[in-house]
Amino acid sequence: MELTSPGTTVGVVGGGQLGRMLGEAASPLGIELIVSDPTPDAPAAPAVRDQVVGEFDDEATVQELAERADYLTYEIELADPDILEAVGEETDTPVHPHPETLRTIQDKLGQKRTLADAGIPVPAFRAVDSPGALRDALDDLGYPAMLKAREGGYDGRGNVPVESPDDVEDAFAAIDGPAMVEEFVDYERELAVMGCLGADDRRTFPVTETIHEAEILRETVSPPRAPEEVRERAREVALDVLDVMEGCGVYGIELFETGDGRILLNEIAPRPHNSGHWTIEGCHTSQFQQHLRAVTGLPLGSTARRAPTASKNILGDVDGRARARLTGIETPLSTDRLSLHWYGKREVYHLRKMGHLTLVAGGNADSESLLADVRDAAEPLTFQAPD
Ligand code: ADP
């Protein structure tokens, strides 16, 4: 193993905030990134060597990335597994995680079937292709339930709760495409584990509690406010999930903790994930550096937590679309052990993820007080309409 200048180059499909934070993590390892994104000057652009402007599923764009890079990866599930696979083979460029894993994960139904077949505990689910099929499925599963588009959903878009038989027609119409339905989990908490597959090693980061509102992740805290045996079970399920995944890299594993302490898998992201942003300051190796180590075949780093850590997303709070201008940053920036991450998105709209705050505990702060402190620090933040 050796370091060179210029360093190893990794091509990344996607140049959003995940690409930006990958770029920030790449530098100390001497790794250079080239990202592709359809938006010129994407959030990742200032943190990487170069950006190729092109759609996530454009073959010529992926081809250019592969020709200029030693390894290929992706930070968005809209990448095209067929193109990644073909280009990877043609140019002899390793692609991680394996495109087959991306293919499985892109289809929420296929993902749940694969995991259920592997013995991973998941909420009860059914495939549905018509309002009639949905009604039949819910006669069996019961109400309420969550109807999910099989493909393309994120931040809860593509999910529709179905409260009663009266909702069936409208819910199905809202999805407008192939769907699956699953039991509504009356969870005690949502948890997440960032797992990592290296060339010959696998690791998990400490279990994180994730707090969603209207299906959008708002805050995380690690350790979670859950009993030790529940955390251990979450870790075991995450390790079982990693056994099903193919290819190196970091995987975001989202879980439900039920009222009786069971762990059910919600979904997997084959990439760094919002529930692992806290690892930048909170762990000895961040999820971003870990992903790059894994993809390039370097040894994985320690996933140990440095100290209890909470994070809070900075979400758009404006009507319509506006130029991004965040005010109130003096308070978080003046708070000890608090870090601000700004994603550099040019435009803000309601609930768009624009940045995040991370607060690392000093002394013996518990998860409850860390969450309260990071909320207080974020209180003055608000987007200001242009003059
Ligand atoms: P996305 O892919 O858009 O992130 P998810 O399927 O992960 O969508 O769902 C987003 C959020 O919606 C979850 O974090 C959870 O809060 C809620 N949710 C999803 N599925 C269920 C379910 N079966 N029961 C209860 N809540 C759910």
**What three-state secondary structure class fits 185?**
coil
Cβ of 159 closer than 6 Å to ligand 1, yes or no, is: yes
Cβ of 212 closer than 6 Å to ligand 1, yes or no, is: yes
Cβ of 155 closer than 6 Å to ligand 1, yes or no, is: yes
The H-assigned helical ranges of 39-80 are 59-68
Cβ of 377 closer than 6 Å to ligand 1, yes or no, is: no
Q: How far is the CA of 52 from the centre of ligand 1 (A)?
A: 33
In the structure encoding, which two tokens stand for residue 351, read together? 């609930």
Q: For residue 387, what pLDDT is reported?
A: 62
Cβ of 185 closer than 6 Å to ligand 1, yes or no, is: yes
Q: Of 70, 61, 76, which is closest to residue 20 (Cα–Cα)?
A: 76
Residue whose tokens read 């999820």: 287
Cα distances (Å, whole numbers) of residue 325 to 16, 91, 190, 217, 342: 18, 42, 32, 22, 11
Cβ of 75 closer than 6 Å to ligand 1, yes or no, is: no
Task: Give the separation between CA 50 and CA 36, rounded to whole angstroms.
Answer: 9
Give the chain's domains with CATH numbers: 9-95 (3.40.50.20), 124-183 (3.30.1490.20), 187-383 (3.30.470.20)
Task: Give the separation between CA 88 and CA 49, rounded to whole angstroms.
Answer: 21
Ligand 1 closest atom vs CA 186: 25
How many CB atoms within 10 Å of residue 169? 12
Ligand 1 closest atom vs CA 157: 3
Residue whose tokens read 């200029």: 68
Q: For residue 26, what pLDDT is reported?
A: 98
| Residue 39 dihedral angles phi and psi, to the nearest 5° | -90, 115
Q: Are 250 and 120 in contact (CB under 8 A)?
A: no
How many CB atoms within 10 Å of residue 249? 25
Cβ of 367 closer than 6 Å to ligand 1, yes or no, is: no
Q: How far is the CA of 155 from the centre of ligand 1 (A)?
A: 8
Q: Are 283 and 204 in contact (CB under 8 A)?
A: no
- Which parts of the chain have pLDDT scores under 70? 156, 386-387
Task: Give the separation between CA 182 and CA 169, rounded to whole angstroms.
Answer: 16
Q: How far is the CA of 154 from the centre of ligand 1 (A)?
A: 9
**CB neighbour list of residue 107: distance below 8 Å, 6 or more residues apart:** 150, 151
Cβ of 209 closer than 6 Å to ligand 1, yes or no, is: no
Q: Are 141 and 162 in contact (CB under 8 A)?
A: no
Cβ of 188 closer than 6 Å to ligand 1, yes or no, is: no
Q: How far is the CA of 169 from the centre of ligand 1 (A)?
A: 21
Length reported for the chain: 387
Q: Are 340 and 354 in contact (CB under 8 A)?
A: no
Cβ of 347 closer than 6 Å to ligand 1, yes or no, is: no
Q: Whose CA is nearest to atom 18 of ligand 1?
A: 215
Per-residue pLDDT reduced to its tens digit, 268-290: 999 999 999 999 999 999 999 99
Cβ of 107 closer than 6 Å to ligand 1, yes or no, is: no
